[in-house]
Amino acid sequence: MLYQNIKLVKKIAVMNAEKTMESLSYLSLIHFEEYDSPWLKRLERSLKQFRKIDFEPDYSKANEKNLDYISWFESVLGFCKTNKEWLILVPNCQFPIWANVKVLNSTKALEELWDTSEDRDIILAVKSTGDIAQIYLEEDKYKGHVGKCDVMNIDQNDSY
């Protein structure tokens, strides 16, 4: 019974992710990443570091009234500007759904992801370089973690 419940939660999460991806104008869905993907296993090491309670963010900026937060995001996520394919954690899903996307406009895509995220949290990576980052809002501060994953020796059948 538990297996059926988990399977149902995953199916609902994928349906919600599909709706979310359809609503985004500046990201085009290539495909959803499989749950057991070697890419996600590599990214998990960095994500575990990001989640540690005492782990200090690499970047922090006060949420000021007239702050151009998208420009700040772009400076933190410098690797995103030059890469036109990202792996993103689809916002607002009750189960983690990762999507490989083609980026049509990186500035607008970041803004759109941020505006879509109810939790004010963006996680994205670039498979070709192993770069991964998380940007989030916490206690009136924008915070950013940036990491690098080893992408060598991953089965090429699991690439884009």
Task: Give the pLDDT of residue 41.
Answer: 87
| Span 92-101, average pLDDT | 93
Task: Give the pLDDT of residue 86.
Answer: 97
Alpha helices in 67-157 (DSSP H): 69-76, 78-81, 106-116
Task: Give the pLDDT of residue 8.
Answer: 87
Does residue 158 surpass a pLDDT of 70? Answer: no
Does residue 139 surpass a pLDDT of 90? Answer: no
Q: Environment class of residue 149 by beta-carbon count within 10 Å: exposed (0-12), middle (13-18) or buried (19+)?
A: buried
Helix (H) or strand (E) holding 23: helix 2-23
pTM: 0.87
Alpha helices in 24-158 (DSSP H): 38-51, 69-76, 78-81, 106-116
- Domain of residue 73: give its range: 2-158
- As a whole number of angstroms, the distance between CA 64 and CA 97 comes to 31
| Span 19-46, average pLDDT | 92
Helix/strand/coil for 46: helix
Q: Which of 28-37, 50-59, 149-158 has the highest mean pLDDT?
A: 28-37
